[in-house]
Structure 1
Amino acid sequence: MKSVYFDNAATTKMLPEVIKVMSKAMEENFGNPSSTHQTGRKARVAIETARKKIAKRFNISAPEVVFTSGGTEGNNLVLRNAVENLGVKTIFTTKIEHHAVLDVVMFLQENFDLSVVFLELNSFGEIDLTDFEEKLSKADGVSLVSLMYVNNEIGNILPIKEVSSICEKYDAFFHTDAVQAVGHFNIDIKDLGVDFLVASAHKFHGPKGVGFVCVNKAVLLRAMILGGGQERGVRSGTENTYGIIAMEKALDISLDNLDQDNDHIWKVKKYFKEKLTECFSDIVFNGLSGIDEKSTNTIISVRFPLKEKNLLFNLDLSGIAASSGSACQSGANKVSHVLKEILNLDELEYSSIRFSFSKFSTLEEVDFLIDFFKKRF
């Protein structure tokens, strides 16, 4: 049976070059990077070389890169530090963030003297910058703003420089979950003015279980995981040497081929929209995912003029991988928390599917998907 993978927002296929580099590291660079002998020092050199290369890509210094197990740990590290160590009394966020942010924020609100302000959203999932500035200007004490660079379900791109400027104006920390952005955009952190940026390797064709946080060097973080003092005391635990080496390689390839790959992915997404609109004249694209200027090329959220509870299941039976929302929540058989915030009850009755693309996606795969709909509806 033919297999089509349109769930790249959940995870991406590892690049062959990355697998090769990782396999070689497993064979030749197995030492504990905290060991002082030659084998350990070799692993340490590999990690620090990767750190320097990643830092250069983001226009920051090497000590500002902290390696983690991925986006969830990175968000936890930042948010918990903000409240427990940096004196943050108010967090500004939205209800359409990833649960790796929302669940942490709610935990902190329940257990600490913390106020949480959820910013208002329009029906496209956009925040009102004027309203945001007004609310931030009235906050007492230290504030942190936590907003996704790219929404993982509806593909909205945050007007990040505008948000950063407002944060700077009112001396607020700015944290962005950039898991869906890193590897897909050229990001200059100094230019953006972001204090904390979180990334995960498996979203840009690297391995799972490894990521990093870019931390403003003026901010001192404390470890949330204790027991070894690795990562300059910020994150204890033996470093994932193989994963770090492979992650740097994946990022290197992604950014070196960014323009070419983006052109291809845009071609796939635009063809997808065109063919799907021909098939369903009254189809709707959720959020800003159908607006090229305001959404990422990798994600499109489609609301079909159908009330088919088994649509996703039937796609899977036909060999087509997609999702109803975040992969972390899809197994729970719940309505997407993102769509619940921006759609009304009637709109939620219709089947919404997230399709997400990568450099490996093809026009032929789009045709296969369209053929599935033509045969059934």
Structure 2
Amino acid sequence: MKTQVVIIGAGPSGLLLGQLLQNAGIGNVILERQSPDYVLERIRAGILEQGTVDLLREAGVAKRMDAEGLVHEGVEFLFDGRRIPVPLKELTGGKTVMVYGQTEVTRDLMEARKEAEGVSFYNVGNVQLFDLKGDSPYVTFEKHGETCRIDCDFIAGCDGFHGVSRQAIPGDILREYERVYPFGWLGLLSDTPPVNHELIYAHHERGFVLCNQRSLTRSRYYLQVPLTDGVEAWSDDRFWSELKRRLPQALADKLVTGHSLEKSIAPLRSFVVEPMQYGNLFLVGDAAHIVPPTGAKGLNLAASDVNYLYRILRKVYFEGRRDLLESYSPMALRRVWKGERFSWFMTNLLHDFAGQNEFDRKMQQADREYYLGSRAGLTTIAENYVGLPFEEVR
């Protein structure tokens, strides 16, 4: 088999890249080691930056998102019992964010690929990458006990943190940057109306809280918990009781509780590898970088990578601009590191850290008072939250 681009991974980044390339007439094949149902069962983030929304519209997969997604013109922060609104639209010249679950984005992309008759192989094993620095790259994989080969021009590694793509790059080439945080997020999903019309990020002496939503009838809440905690230690009743303790009384009284649809504890990590390209292999999304969820940047940074790689490949195929290939990694990384910085900043602003000394606490409090007490500080948060602009590929 032969194609122009092999995409490894059928998560939202791989599917979005595949759809954009398909619409442009650039042949591509997607390989995924899991089943479609498994991919859809992964419950992840649901806050889309303006740039991500625009890219989904460009890909022609925004009909249901535009009908069902919830546009948010602001967010709220809670500190010391005070509620501080951040008017995103006002502070950014009209930009907003969209609440639309990553599962739904993936579902829409899967349907679009099916309608476009794009080629995808699920439940594949033993994926291997060859001749990445040469003129004839190819990928092999196993399906139904048989070994298959796809010859291609380029390979996009969209297969996540544990995928094979990053591992195909020699260790002496990659440089890793990492910070692991000493706490986790306990998340609960429920079919209950959100406690507030805007998202709430709250600092409390008992730990951070995020009040999120998936729709007008489905909510997602998070609590900061020790990494030593297990999900089994948190019954629904214990979760709701702790959430109420960390919210102001007026909000706690409004909170509608219910049976959890899903409950899990996620560790927090900041991680980046450089470079994001090795020959004809391009790393995209979680294969190259992980962010703590505090800044809502994970899916959005993956979409940013897709944006740059798609536009570069278009120019390669339609304008012969192979000189642009080497620009992918530095261009993507400039935006990645800004997203990492914002996620790191938000994590430090909102959480208490074990063993934190008094100087660090004072600095943390000064940051809160400045960023949430001045228009300049609020504008900085708003600009980063709605998403920094993409560089032009030219």
Q: Structures share a fold, TM > 0.5?
A: no
**TM-score normalised according to structure 2 size:** 0.23
**TM-score normalised according to structure 1 size:** 0.24
Give 1 or 2: higher strand fraction.
2
